[in-house]
């Protein structure tokens, strides 16, 4: 029985949260069918949760918040002085330096963030009318969607600061080695919808050009291919 | 989708390094509205069986009262409910085979009961087999019964009773009542536990009527039958026990069906609307390293509608190893409460046993401990029953003196009802 989840000990699990064999917690869910997990033994993994380590310059594990600078675990427990990370590189998708992780090639996708007032619910505050749509290239193996937090040292690649119903660590768009996209909601408070359907938290869902993610009060994110 | 059951887990998931025992209480509530299982029972119908002792010892007031109680019970049966009556002595007599409780059928049943005379011995295995035969007619119905007896089972029937119980287990549920004081608590409790029912004493014959009415009311409130508690555990884990701990203590540990190597199912019988029960799991897992987090158990309720398996109320039992002793030393207060209630029941059982052996010191110590625990945990019903057996000098320290004279029915009442637990009030 082929199963879609692999636990840290290497068992095939029928469940997405804990291994159906040994009970170990499954984090950094990778579909067993995609990308052979052990093919990049050199790639760093988070010692706490086993998720792929973030790109150079990112100090925290996207999944569990492990601090790679001080090598301490814990979600929000260590109030270290954050080393400010430069904001995402400017739009031209021409990487000046070859990136360290196995994923190479210029970004093939970008996302365009816009405010869609029609997504508001009755309780939502007034949507800001003066925010122009912004585009961000998906030029890292993992691109965090969320609200920036200096205190928690969260600096998302795709900042959604104006929407208060977006979680600090809301979701992650991963670029797999074969160039396809995967979205994972990081157990956000208010969830994410993909083309109008609520996605399961901590479960990977493939993304393609033209897909629309909606989250928070009014945030709409459209995935586009860069030609 | 409306969930038919809701589950909540109480535990301290933190274990100190090297620890391997995980305890958790799961509170399950059958939701009131839109229970999908209501449909199941409507399709299969419901059947109530009456199994009544008519052996020689019932002669006189007991039989008169039992007849009166049965007649009243028949009157109270809803018309869409199936029923049957088995009268038992050395043989079983199915005086009314399974029929819908229409006026006609009721009148017929009542005339047959009126003529019954008491004679013969007590062969409960035969009674149960006769009931089983009736219940087998409609496999999809919600099947419940009441068994009334006044004496202990015939010695020659004891091994047959074991087999009969095995056959009946999982087919129907049965509440057992002993009238008077000539029956055996252990025996009746064993039957009730096997058939997922309650066991209790009816001290005086005139109380049978009221008790039967309560039993029928409870039986008719059930909407979901044959609900199983499914428990998954990781490879290498050991389920130390699985007990229902509220409303009464019912050890299900050995009652499982192994579904898959890592999955066991425990029977929980029928559930009524808004019914709440608590289950206590103890699972031994492979000890992990500090910082490890594993799932020690995954529990859910499983039932079948139209031959389609339904799963509801999944709950997760976790184990997280920590070197923070402040975290691992804490005992969840719900777990602590039910551990106490189980100890209380055990102290009473052993205390009464010691008392009947004539071991005064042991009995005094155990029953004193029981008084203390009943007092601490606010189990007033049990505390009151204990006071019939011991003179309490100081409840707080558990200082007691055995009463010189104890009515047999008081002792039996304490014994049978000691497994009833109290729930913690929500704070």
Q: For B283-293, give one letter per residue: b (16+ CB within 10 A) or e.
A: bebbebeeebb
Chain B residue whose CA is closest to A72: B291
What is the architecture, at CATH level 2, of domain A105-227?
Answer: Sandwich (2.60)
**Which segment of A187-191, B188-192, B304-308 scores lowest on mean pLDDT?**
B304-308
Q: Which of B262, B294, B316 sits opposite A24 (nearest CB)?
A: B294
In the predicted structure, residue B264 carries a pLDDT above the cut 60: yes
The 10s digit of each residue's pLDDT in B327-377 is 898 889 999 999 999 999 999 999 999 999 999 999 999 999 999 999 988
CA dihedral sign, ordered A190, A192, A197, A200 = negative
Round to whole Å and give the CA distance between B403 and B388: 8
What does CATH list as the number for B40-220?
A: 3.40.50.410
Q: For B6-42, give one letter per residue: b (16+ CB within 10 A) or e.
A: ebebbbbbbbeeeebebbbbbbbbbbeeebbbeebbe
Distance (Å) from the alpha carbon of B26 to chain A's nearest alpha carbon: 19
Of 2.60.40.3670, 2.40.50.100, 3.40.190.10, 3.90.650.10, the CATH number of B5-35+223-330 is: 2.60.40.3670
Q: Which residues of B touch A (CB under 8 A)?
A: 232-237, 262, 285, 291-296, 298, 316, 319
Distance (Å) from the alpha carbon of B361 to chain A's nearest alpha carbon: 47
Distance (Å) from the alpha carbon of A137 to chain B's nearest alpha carbon: 36
- Taking an 8 Å cut-off on Cβ atoms, the answer to whether A25 and B232 are in contact is no
The total number of residues shown for chain A amounts to 227
- Taking an 8 Å cut-off on Cβ atoms, the answer to whether B234 and A73 are in contact is no
Judge if the upstream peptide bond of residue B408 is cis by omega within 30 degrees of 0.
Answer: no
Q: Are B144 and B107 in contact (CB under 8 A)?
A: no
In the predicted structure, residue B142 carries a pLDDT above the cut 70: yes
Distance (Å) from the alpha carbon of B426 to chain A's nearest alpha carbon: 27
| ipTM of this complex | 0.73
Mean pLDDT across B19-33: 87
Measured between beta carbons, the chain B residues lying within 8 angstroms of A17 are 295, 316
Round to whole Å and give the CA distance between A48 and A45: 9
Place of tokens 């969607």: A145
At A81 the pLDDT is 41
At A61 the pLDDT is 64
Helix, strand or coil for residue B308? Answer: strand
Q: Are A202 and A29 in contact (CB under 8 A)?
A: yes
Mean pLDDT across B200-209: 92
At B413 the pLDDT is 94
At A117 the pLDDT is 85
Distance (Å) from the alpha carbon of A61 to chain B's nearest alpha carbon: 16
The 10s digit of each residue's pLDDT in A23-78 is 988 875 444 443 333 333 334 666 666 666 666 556 666 666 666 766 666 543 33
Specify whether the backbone of B313 is left (phi greater than 0), alpha (psi in -120 to 50) or beta.
left
Where are the CATH 1.20.120.1690 domain residues in chain B? 334-417
Mean pLDDT across B70-87: 93
Task: Supply angle C-alpha B215, B103, B140, rounded to 5.
Answer: 55
A108 class by beta-carbon count within 10 Å (0-12 exposed, 13-18 middle, 19+ buried): middle
Q: Which of B234, B285, B291 sits opposite A21 (nearest CB)?
A: B234
Parallel, antiparallel or unpaired: strands B390-394 and B21-30 = unpaired
- A contact test, residue of B293, B311, B318, B319 with most A CBs within 10 A: B293
Where are the CATH 2.60.40.3670 domain residues in chain B? 5-35+223-330
Q: Name residues of chain A where pLDDT drops below 50.
A: 1, 29-43, 75-83, 95, 98-104
In the predicted structure, residue B288 carries a pLDDT above the cut 80: yes
Q: What is the mean pLDDT of chain B?
A: 90
CATH class of B334-417: mainly alpha
Mean pLDDT across B228-253: 93
At B39 the pLDDT is 42
- Domain residue extents for chain A: 105-227
- Taking an 8 Å cut-off on Cβ atoms, the answer to whether A22 and B234 are in contact is yes
At B141 the pLDDT is 87
- CB neighbours of B322 closer than 8 A, spacing ≥ 6? B14, B15, B16, B17, B290, B291, B328
At A25 the pLDDT is 87
Chain A residue whose CA is closest to B286: A22
Band of residue B5 on the pLDDT scale cut at 50, 70, 90 = confident
Place of tokens 């299900």: B252
């Amino acid at each position: 029985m082929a199963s879609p989840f692999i636990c840290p000990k290497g068992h095939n699990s029928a469940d997405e949260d804990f291994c159906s064999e040994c009970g170990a917690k499954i984090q950094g869910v990778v579909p067993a069918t995609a990308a052979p997990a052990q093919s990049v033994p050199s790639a760093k993994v988070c010692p706490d949760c086993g998720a792929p380590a973030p790109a150079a310059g990112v100090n925290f594990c996207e999944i569990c918040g492990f601090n790679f600078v001080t090598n301490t675990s814990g979600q929000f427990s260590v109030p270290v002085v954050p080393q400010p990370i430069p904001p995402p590189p400017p739009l031209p998708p021409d990487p000046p330096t070859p990136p360290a992780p196995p994923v190479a090639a210029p970004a093939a996708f970008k996302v365009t963030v816009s405010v869609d007032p029609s997504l508001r619910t009755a309780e939502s505050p007034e949507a800001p009318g003066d925010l122009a749509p912004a585009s961000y290239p998906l030029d890292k193996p993992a691109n965090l969607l969320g609200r920036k937090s200096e205190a928690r040292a969260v600096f998302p690649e795709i900042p959604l600061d104006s929407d208060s119903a977006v979680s600090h660590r809301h979701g992650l768009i991963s670029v797999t080695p074969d160039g396809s996209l995967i979205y994972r909601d990081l157990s956000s408070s208010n969830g994410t919808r993909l083309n109008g359907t609520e996605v399961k938290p901590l479960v990977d869902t493939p993304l393609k050009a033209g897909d629309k993610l909606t989250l928070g009060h009014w945030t709409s994110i459209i995935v586009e291919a860069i030609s | 989708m409306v969930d038919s059951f809701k589950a909540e887990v109480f535990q301290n998931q933190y274990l100190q390094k090297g620890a391997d025992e995980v305890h958790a209480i799961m509170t399950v509530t059958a939701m009131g509205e839109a229970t999908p299982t209501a449909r199941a029972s409507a399709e299969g119908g419901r059947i109530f069986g009456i199994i009544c002792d008519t052996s020689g010892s019932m002669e006189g007031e007991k039989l008169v009262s039992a007849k009166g109680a049965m007649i009243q019970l028949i009157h109270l049966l809803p018309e869409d409910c199936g029923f049957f009556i088995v009268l038992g002595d050395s043989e079983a007599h199915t005086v009314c085979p399974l029929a819908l409780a229409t006026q006609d059928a009721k009148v017929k049943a009542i005339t047959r009961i009126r003529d019954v005379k008491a004679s013969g011995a007590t062969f409960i295995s035969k009674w149960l087999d006769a009931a089983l035969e009736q219940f087998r007619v409609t496999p999809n119905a919600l099947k419940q019964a009441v068994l009334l007896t006044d004496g202990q089972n015939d010695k020659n029937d004891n091994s047959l009773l074991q087999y009969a119980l095995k056959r009946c287990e999982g087919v129907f549920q049965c509440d057992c009542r002993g009238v008077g004081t000539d029956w055996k608590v252990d025996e009746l409790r064993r039957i009730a536990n096997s058939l997922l029912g309650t066991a209790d004493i009816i001290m005086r014959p005139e109380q049978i009527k009221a008790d039967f009415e309560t039993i029928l009311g409870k039986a008719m409130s059930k909407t979901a039958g044959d609900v199983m508690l499914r428990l998954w555990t990781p490879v290498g884990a050991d389920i130390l026990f699985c007990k229902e701990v509220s409303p009464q203590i019912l050890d299900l540990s050995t009652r499982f069906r192994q579904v898959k190597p890592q999955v066991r199912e425990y029977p929980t019988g029928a559930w009524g609307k808004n019914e709440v029960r608590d289950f206590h799991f103890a699972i031994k897992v492979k000890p992990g390293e500090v910082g490890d987090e594993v799932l020690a158990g995954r529990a859910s309720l499983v039932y079948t509608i139209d031959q389609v398996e339904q799963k509801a109320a999944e709950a997760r039992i976790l184990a997280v190893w920590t070197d923070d002793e402040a975290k691992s030393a804490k005992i969840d207060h719900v777990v602590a409460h039910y551990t106490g209630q189980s100890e209380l029941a055990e102290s009473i059982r052993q205390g009464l046993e010691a008392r009947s052996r004539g071991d005064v010191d042991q009995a005094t110590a155990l029953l004193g401990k029981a008084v203390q625990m009943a007092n601490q945990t606010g189990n007033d019903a049990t505390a009151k029953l204990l006071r019939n057996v011991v003179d309490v000098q100081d409840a707080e320290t558990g200082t007691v003196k055995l009463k010189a004279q104890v009515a047999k029915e008081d002792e039996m009442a304490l014994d049978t009802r000691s497994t009833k637990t109290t729930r913690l009030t929500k704070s």
